[in-house]
Amino acid sequence: MPKQPPHLETITAKDLLTRPIEPIGFTIADILPHGLFILAGSPKVGKSWLALDICNAVAAGGKLWQYFATQGDVLYLALEDNHKRLQDRLSKVSPSYISGSKCDIHFATAAQKLGSGLAEQLTVFLDAHPQTKLIVIDTMQYIRNSRNSIRTYSGDYADMDAL
């Protein structure tokens, strides 16, 4: 006897329209909702600088441009950097969170790869810092495992799914 296909889980339009659903939360009001995103662009256009500005706004509970940030700790995996370069960059963005803020940016210049311990490292960090609102991975190439290193949609999807 052939195996029956799995039953489809459905919801009716009436039920969907009457079901209370929580609104989307934002880390940066109106422009950075909670979730997973890729900041992409040509080399040397300022992606890391923008990421650092976003981190600074979140740690300070301040603004990015005219948009308010939800305050919280930040984990920045600066995998192409060293402490000297990070110090130089951080001093240039005038971090207001240094004095008196209860939140901070936590930098790491090395991390495990996807499927080889990164998820566990992130879980340990989040357990130790439950008020974390943002994790930045700069750059993805440093955490990709070799099987997904080919730049294909399926490889990107597999990596994003793991995160």
> What's CA 64's distance to the chain center, in Å?
16
Cite the beta strand spans of 29-119 per DSSP E. 32-33, 63-64, 67-68, 73-78, 105-108
> What's CA 121's distance to the chain center, in Å?
14
5-32: pLDDT as tens digits = 888 999 999 999 999 999 999 999 999 9
Q: Are 79 and 138 in contact (CB under 8 A)?
A: yes
CB atoms within 10 A of CB 21: 6
Q: Which residue has the higher pLDDT, 67 or 91?
A: 67
Dist. CA 134–CA 61, nearest whole Å: 12
68-112: pLDDT as tens digits = 999 999 999 999 999 999 988 888 886 555 566 788 999 999 999
Name beta bridge partners: 136.
Answer: 76
- Predicted TM-score of the model (pTM): 0.81
Catalogue the long-range contacts made by 141-145 (C-beta closer than 8 Å, 24 or more residues apart). Answer: 142/77, 142/79, 142/80, 142/111, 142/113, 143/77, 143/79, 143/111, 143/112, 143/113, 143/114, 143/118, 144/113, 144/114, 145/113, 145/114, 145/115, 145/116
Q: Are 114 and 145 in contact (CB under 8 A)?
A: yes
